[in-house]
Amino acid sequence: MAYFWHLTLFLTVLLNTPHVSVSVGCCYTRIFSFGDSLTDTGNYLRIFGNVSRNTAARLPYGESYFHHPTGRWSDGRLLLDFIADDIGLPFVPPYLGGNSTGYFRHGANFAVGGATALNHSIFHEMGVPVETRAGFLAIQVQWFKELLTVLCLESDCREVMDNAFFFVGEMGINDYNTFNAAAVPFAVIKDYVPGVINAIASAVRDLIELGAKTIAVAGVIPLGCTPSYLTILQTEKVEEYNLTTGCLNWLNEFSQYHDQLLFDELDRIGDTYPDVTIIYADYYGPYMNMIQSPRQHGLKETIVSCCGGGGPYNFALSPSCGSEGSSLCKEPSQYVSWDGLHLTDAAHKIIAQLRFSETIVASRARTRVGEEIKTILASDSRGVEP
C-alpha cells in the first residue's frame, strides 16, 4: 500500500505508516510545481506581458513581501513559496523565465494563472469561450517532459526524479469559473467535476510514470467564502448563507464534492503505485479554520477583499484590484482574501502553519482520514448533493 498522507499542511502529517511523523523539509533538491494562479510565480506575466488586463504585473500586487509585482496573484508569497522555504530551497522560478539549465537547478514552476484542468477542446465543443493562451494542465506536464529531457543530459534522470518534490497545486477553479462566466448553471457544472478530477489524476499518473516519487496534490478552496463568488452569486435568499460565516452553503458543498472525488481518486492511485508517496493537500480545511476563527489567527476580515472594486465584499469585475477606482485596505495581514479569489500573504502563511496535532497508526490512518473528509462533507449540507 502506498504512503498516503492527508495534510492540513506539509509539515506534520498523517502518514499511513505506524507511529511516523514526517517533515517535508528533508532531502529534496528540486521542486516541480503545476497549477493555476494560486501557484503561478510568473508564467502568466511572461505569456501576457504587462498589459492592462494583467493586474498581477503591477502594484499593489507583491507589495507586502516583495515590495514589487512578481506575477504572483497576491500581495506577497504563495503556499508554494512557504513549501520551498520549509524544504530549504529558493522560491520556485517560473518555467517560462528560464533559458539555461542553471536557472532550473532547484526546479521549475509550470503553473499559469487562468489555466484549466480540462483540455480546452471540451469548452470549444460547448461553445464556451476560454482563454487559450493560459493553457491547461496537460500542457504543463508536457513542458515538464521537455525540461526533463534537457536536465537528464547533465544529471542522472533517476536522481532528478527521486530527489524532487512535486506539487500539483489547486486545479479546477478556472474550469468552474469559465463555465460560470458563460452562464452555465452549477447544476450542470457539477457534471464536469469528475472530468476535472480525471484530468488531475491523469497528470499525476504521467508524473509517476516519468519517475516521480513524492507528489502533493491540492484540493480547492471553499468557493462559497470567496468575495468574488459572494458578489457574483449574491442573493436575497437568506437560507443559502451560513449565518455564522456569511458563506454560501451550497457553493461550499460544491467545493467539498470536488475535494471528495479528488481524495478518492488519489487513494486509488496510491493503491496502484505502492512505492510512491502521494499527499492530499487540504486547502479547504485551513481556509475554513480562518473563516470560522479569525481572531485566533490575527485576522479581522474573512469574506471581504483587501483590494477590490467596492461593494459589500469589496469586489467587482471592474474596477478590479489595482485598476483605477479600486480601493486598498491598510492592513492586508488582517484579511483572508487579497483580491476576491486569491489569498493574502498572511493567509498563505497561516495555511502553511496549520497542521494536524496527532499521528495516526497504520491500521487506522486511511479509515480515519476518510471519516474526517466524510464528516466535513456531511456538515452544512445545504445545496449541491455529492
Q: Which of 342, 345, 348, 380 is catalytic?
A: 342
Q: 37 catalytic, yes or no?
A: yes
Q: How confident is the model at residue 51 (pLDDT cuts 50, 70, 90)?
A: low
pLDDT tens across 315-357, in order? 999 999 989 899 999 999 999 999 999 999 999 999 988 853 2
Mean pLDDT, the chain, rounded, equals 86
Contacts of 183 (CB under 8 A, 6+ apart): none
- This model's pTM is above 0.75: yes
pLDDT of residue 1: 44
> Would you state the cell numbers that stand for residue 134, as one nine-digit string?
493560459
Does 371 score more than 50 pLDDT? no
pLDDT tens for 248-298 read 999 999 999 999 999 999 999 999 999 999 999 999 999 999 999 999 999
CB of 76 within 8 A of CB of 56?
Answer: no
Q: 327-328 and 307-308 as β-strands: parallel, antiparallel, unpaired?
A: antiparallel
202 is known as an active-site residue? no
In this structure, of 43-52, 95-104, 116-125, 289-298, the range with the lowest mean pLDDT score is 43-52
The pLDDT tens digits for 61-113 are: 999 999 999 999 999 999 999 999 999 999 999 999 998 889 999 999 999 99
163-185 pLDDT, tens per residue?
A: 999 999 999 999 999 999 999 99
| Domain architecture of the chain: domains with CATH | 4-284+359-378 (3.40.50)
Instruction: For residue 342, indicate whether it is catalytic.
Output: yes
- Is pLDDT at 384 greater than 70 in this prediction? no
Q: What is the identity of the amino acid at 56?
A: A
The residue with greater pLDDT, 134 or 22, is: 134
Structure-model confidence comparison of residues 53 and 13, the more confident one: 53
Q: Which of 37, 74, 320, 337 is catalytic?
A: 37
Model confidence band, residue 155 (pLDDT cutoffs 50, 70, 90) = confident
Which of these ranges, 51-60, 161-170, 190-199, 346-355, has the smallest mean pLDDT? Answer: 51-60
- The pLDDT of residue 360: 23
**Cα 383 to chain centroid, rounded:** 23
Average pLDDT over every residue of 15-28: 44
Q: Which of 36, 175, 282, 339 is catalytic?
A: 339
Query: In this structure, is the dihedral angle defined by the CA atoms of residues 28, 29, 35 and 37, taken in order, positive or negative?
Result: positive
Reply yes or no on whether the pLDDT at 4 is more than 70. Answer: no
Residue 281 backbone phi and psi in degrees, to 5: -95, 115
Taking Cα atoms as reference points, which of 234, 216, 219 lies closest to residue 172? Answer: 219
111 in Cβ contact with 171 (< 8 Å): no
